[in-house]
Amino acid sequence: MMKSKLILVEGIPGSGKSTFAERIAAYYTGRGLTADLYTEGGYHPADLAWNAYIPAGDLDRVLAPFRSFRDEIEANTRREDGFAILSYTQVPSGTPAFFKAMEEHEIYDGRIPFPRFREILSKRWYSFGKEAAEKDAVTVFECAFLQNQINELMLIRLAEIETMKRYFQELLLTVLPLSPVLVYLAQSDVGETVARAAAQRVSGDNSWIDGFICYMENTPYGKKHGIRGFDGVIRVLEERQKAELEIIRSLPVPGIVLENSCYDWEDLWEELVSKLLQVYSV
């Protein structure tokens, strides 16, 4: 049987991706193996969500207003191929102007032409795959393959389903030597799932769901379809989940879809291990 060196964990917000990705990584380390886990928000070897992508020659100019916490910025900056990749959400600046400035240097949300967007990510996924193939380790990605990029294609670029299928098929080819497997946590009641996540993701006066609704309403997709409020967001996520499941069926690798509406982690874990053993040596 093949041995997978890349596990992709996907699902809508609140589906349990983080919890499950952590458990998968712990499963490998518990067996004495090396597992590299990458969750949403920090530096990522393949994706660029929540990271500023700044030409190295422009870095000093862009960061000039933020000299007071330059050490913290430097600690969260990596340089690759003439660009600085700055994981700005990891910088404890407490300065809204900094986060706003860094957002402008992301490649997501339609900020760069789509051919360039595709070129950048394809190159990074290929480079990651080449390096990972040489390592004696498994890598676990949370939401890096589908979620961030389908938001870009579906909500920002208004791509049709066949266009999205081709995009993800081509992207997956860059890491095919790793024998990747995609684990998808499906939700039968999207509204309940998001409501649960909204109740948990509140910090002081900051509510995740308020910002999420505002974002959805103001995307090209949201404007085109008249998306408003919580119910509108649920309709979008239902369509996104439907599209993701169709994309998964079109991919040249095993896609393990797990119904996770009950959040029964033990039963879900047993189901995953059983299905993994059918196609991979884990």
Report whether pLDDT(282) > 60: no
Name beta bridge partners: 79: 84
72 plus 166 within the same structural domain: no
Q: CA dihedral in degrees (193, 188, 146, 272; nearest 10)?
A: 100
Same domain, 245 and 214: yes
Q: Rounded distance, CA 49 to CA 104, Å?
A: 12
Residues 32 and 58 in one domain: no
Verify that 71 and 12 share a domain, yes or no. no
Q: For residues 184 and 248, is the Cβ–Cβ distance under 8 A?
A: yes
Q: How far apart are CA 91 and CA 88, in angstroms?
A: 5
The verdict on residue 82 lying in a domain is yes
Contact (Cβ atoms closer than 8 angstroms) between residue 233 and residue 227: yes
Domains identified in the chain, total number: 2
124 and 165 part of one domain = yes
**pLDDT tens figures, 122-141:** 999 999 999 999 999 999 99
Q: Assess whether 12 and 27 both reside in one domain.
A: yes
pLDDT digits (tens, 9 = 90+) for 169-209: 999 999 999 999 999 999 999 999 999 888 888 765 568 89
User: Can you tell me the distance from the alpha carbon of 210 to that of 229, in angstroms, rounded to the nearest whole number?
Assistant: 9
Q: Do residue 132 and residue 93 come from a single domain?
A: no
If asked whether residues 258 and 126 sit together in one domain, one would say: yes
Question: For the residues 54-81, what does the mean pLDDT come to?
Answer: 94
Position 92 in a domain: yes
Question: Is pLDDT of 71 > 90?
Answer: yes
Torsion region of 161: left, alpha or beta (phi above 0 gives left; psi -120 to 50 gives alpha):
alpha
Residues 101 and 18 in one domain: no
pLDDT tens column, 2-56: 478 999 999 999 898 998 999 999 989 998 999 999 998 889 999 999 999 999 9
pLDDT recorded at residue 273:
83
Enclosing domain of residue 68: 51-105
263 or 237, greater pLDDT: 237
Note the pLDDT of residue 190: 94
